Amino acid sequence: MDFEGALSAWQTQLGPEHVVTENDALEQKQTATFETSQQVLAIISPKNSAEVQAAIKIANQFNVPVYPISSGMNWGYGSAVPTCEQGVIMELSRLDTIENFSETLAHVTIGPGVTQQKLYDFLQQKDSNLWMDATGSSPDCSIIGNTVERGFGHTPYGDHFNHVCSMEVVLPSGEIINTGFSRFDNAHAASTYKWGVGAYVDGLFTQSNFGIVTKLTLWLMPKPQYFQAFYIMVEHDNQLEELIDTLQPFRLNRTVKSTVHIGNDFKVLSSITTFPWDKVGKNGKLTQDVVDEFAKLWDFGAWNVSGALYGTKQEVASARKQLKKAFNGKVKSIRFLDDTMLSLAIKLQKPYKWITGLDLPRLLKVMAPVHGLKKGIPTPDIIGSTFWRKKVDVPENPHPDRDKCGLIWCAPVAPTTGHHARAMVEIIKSNVDKYGFEPLISMSMINERSLDNVISIIYDREEPGQDEAAHQCHQQLMDDFNKQGYYPYRLGISGMEVTNKAEPQYLAFMKQLKSTLDPNNILAPGRYSSEK
């Protein structure tokens, strides 16, 4: 590695102001929401694909590993921190063009610097009838960053990668390719037909280190005539299996067209408030009794479903009727909420509390942003839950890395059955308590057949010993999940070794692809691979 040589070449190529080596900046980038040891040598910020291309050629020439990030907000999975022990971060936030927008055909092409908020504002400005999909992470998150990690959101377009139609990719060699039909001159269907002709390669550039996605065409969702969120609640933990099995056929047959999120009581509590230090004994353990008290006060259950219906009024009515019938007598409550009802609730929250004793404001604090997410509206309000174990209020502009919030996510996937849901809950409960954490569980029906169990290990990085406990807890959870046949949909930088558990032939195949595309192993070594 000739780091000095590379640095000087990058300075010439990108301009010295876009090659940062100041300690503060490096320190910031090598800080995640959990303990890391990786060292960031420099941050380079190309302004367009051609500069990305030039920068990666320099990396090859001087044999310096480069780790591309978009917004660097991959919180819970490693933020901006590289997978390799020493590396240069290539920040892509300056590639923020929005182009190739079609209201009729519902597509748009974005760069990695385009944030959720930026695309949302763009659509608003166009007075568009199209919706984007958003995640609950910061409005300042990069859409490409999330998409190439195969993240998911809340609308019928929530499986982000499934709604991608062609990419511009800078290969590790520095060559630029366009995928799908966009590799042909003037191909009209480049943004409307994703398979193109010949091998379909877009998937190679998700969860990998095979290329840098510098542009991505995204399909947008036509706004439905009518929208209604639904909330289902069961009182007792042992109702989980029935809850899942009753929902499953509706998700399978697309009566419910979008991701359904199912949170346990601890998870809902952590979304509404920070840790109730005052109610908790000296050992700092939050007991089920205390949680149950809050559940009564704020009206949530042992398991809480949130989903939405989209379509014409008649279609939504049909879906609503079916859900009501299926859950009749099986749950504590099933509620439907449209935009009008939500506005009304916000207006009436004070008298409501006065009459019922229920603290509607607390619930609305969670429900309003979640309601918006189901319509693809980004929100800054969810990320506050990373402050769960902090002893301060959530600041104005929360930044989990800077604010020393501890967060590690673990996200195993299972078939959507009550049986598997229970098996996963057992694994969680038998582990997190041991390490002193709460079982913060959210299960998402991410597609018609699968349940993604997102476990949040949330802690305070300023508490001594917590980093280590969280790390151990995460490792143990991952091991136990894998042993029992549950593998994650996505990996954090400290969990990449899961990829090694694959059959050896597959590992050899991946290695073969990597070594032909990146013989010097300079692009994000160790990302979704154990070869650092």
- Asked if residues 109 and 102 have their Cβ atoms less than 8 Å apart, the reply is no
Among 50, 197, 297, 348, binds its own copies (CB under 8 A): 197
> What single string gives the DSSP state of each residue in 338-392?
-HHHHHHHHHHHHHHHHHH---HHHHHHHHHHHHHHTTT---SSSGGGGGTT-SS
CB of 330 to its own copies, least distance (A): 18
358 lies in the site for its own copies, by CB under 8 A: no
- Which CB atom, from 369 or from 418, has the smaller least distance to its own copies? 418
Tokens encoding 171: 């290969």
User: Which stretch, 59-67, 173-181, 295-303, 385-393, contacts its own copies (CB under 8 A)?
Assistant: 173-181
Nearest to 246 by CA among 236, 256, 237: 256
- Which CB atom, from 13 or from 482, has the smaller least distance to its own copies? 482
Segment 316-345, which members bind its own copies (CB under 8 A)? Answer: 317-318, 321-322
192 lies in the site for its own copies, by CB under 8 A: yes
Query: How far is Cα 428 from Cα 444, in angstroms, rounded to an integer?
Result: 16
Among 8, 13, 48, 482, binds its own copies (CB under 8 A): 482
Estimate to the nearest angstrom the gap between the alpha carbon of 310 and the chain centroid.
22
How far from 460 is each of 43, 143, 404, CA to CA, in Å?
A: 28, 28, 7
Segment 27-66, which members bind its own copies (CB under 8 A)? Answer: none
CB of 416 to its own copies, least distance (A): 7
503 lies in the site for its own copies, by CB under 8 A: yes
Residue type, 220: L
CB of 112 to its own copies, least distance (A): 18
User: Which stretch, 70-78, 177-185, 273-281, 358-366, contacts its own copies (CB under 8 A)?
Assistant: 177-185
Burial 223-241 (b: 16+ CB within 10 A, else e): ebebbbbbbbbbbeeebbe
- Which CB atom, from 357 or from 415, has the smaller least distance to its own copies? 415
- Residue corresponding to tokens 């542009």: 215
Q: Is 444 exposed, middle or buried (0-12, 13-18, 19+ CB in 10 A)?
A: buried
Query: How far is Cα 400 from Cα 28, in angstroms, rounded to an integer?
Result: 11
226 lies in the site for its own copies, by CB under 8 A: no
x/- string (CB under 8 A) for its own copies, residues 399-418?
--------------xxxxx-
- Asked if residues 113 and 62 have their Cβ atoms less than 8 Å apart, the reply is no
Segment 427-466, which members bind its own copies (CB under 8 A)? Answer: 446-450, 452
Among 1, 25, 26, 176, binds its own copies (CB under 8 A): 176
User: Which stretch, 74-82, 194-202, 279-287, 461-469, contacts its own copies (CB under 8 A)?
Assistant: 194-202
CB of 150 to its own copies, least distance (A): 5
- Which CB atom, from 176 or from 342, has the smaller least distance to its own copies? 176
- Which CB atom, from 31 or from 217, has the smaller least distance to its own copies? 217
Sheet of 86-91, strands arranged across? 19-20, 39-44, 86-91, 66-69
CB of 435 to its own copies, least distance (A): 24
CB of 53 to its own copies, least distance (A): 10
Segment 236-255, which members bind its own copies (CB under 8 A)? Answer: 248-249, 252-255
283 lies in the site for its own copies, by CB under 8 A: no
Segment 95-124, which members bind its own copies (CB under 8 A)? Answer: 104-107
CB of 217 to its own copies, least distance (A): 11
- Asked if residues 525 and 531 have their Cβ atoms less than 8 Å apart, the reply is yes
Estimate to the nearest angstrom the gap between the alpha carbon of 386 and the chain centroid.
14
Segment 286-315, which members bind its own copies (CB under 8 A)? Answer: 311-312, 314-315
Query: How far is Cα 383 from Cα 399, in angstroms, rounded to an integer?
Result: 8
Spell out the residues 6+ positions from residue 468 whose beta carbon is closer than 8 angstroms to its own.
Answer: 35
499 lies in the site for its own copies, by CB under 8 A: yes
- Which CB atom, from 144 or from 291, has the smaller least distance to its own copies? 144
Nearest to 391 by CA among 405, 402, 381, 380: 405
CB of 302 to its own copies, least distance (A): 24
- Asked if residues 14 and 51 have their Cβ atoms less than 8 Å apart, the reply is yes
- Three-state DSSP at 47 gives coil
Query: How far is Cα 215 from Cα 173, in angstroms, rounded to an integer?
Result: 17
- Which CB atom, from 188 or from 282, has the smaller least distance to its own copies? 188
CB of 374 to its own copies, least distance (A): 17
Task: Centre a 10 Å sphere on the Cβ of residue 289 and count the other Cβ atoms it contains.
Answer: 8
Spell out the residues 6+ positions from residue 311 whose beta carbon is closer than 8 angstroms to its own.
Answer: 224, 225, 226, 319
# residues contacting its own copies (CB under 8 A): 95
Segment 135-164, which members bind its own copies (CB under 8 A)? Answer: 150, 156, 161
- Which CB atom, from 143 or from 446, has the smaller least distance to its own copies? 446
CB of 106 to its own copies, least distance (A): 6
- Which CB atom, from 417 or from 520, has the smaller least distance to its own copies? 417
Among 52, 69, 490, 526, binds its own copies (CB under 8 A): 490
User: Which element (helix H / strand E) includes 334?
Assistant: strand 333-337
189 lies in the site for its own copies, by CB under 8 A: yes
Among 23, 37, 125, 186, binds its own copies (CB under 8 A): 186
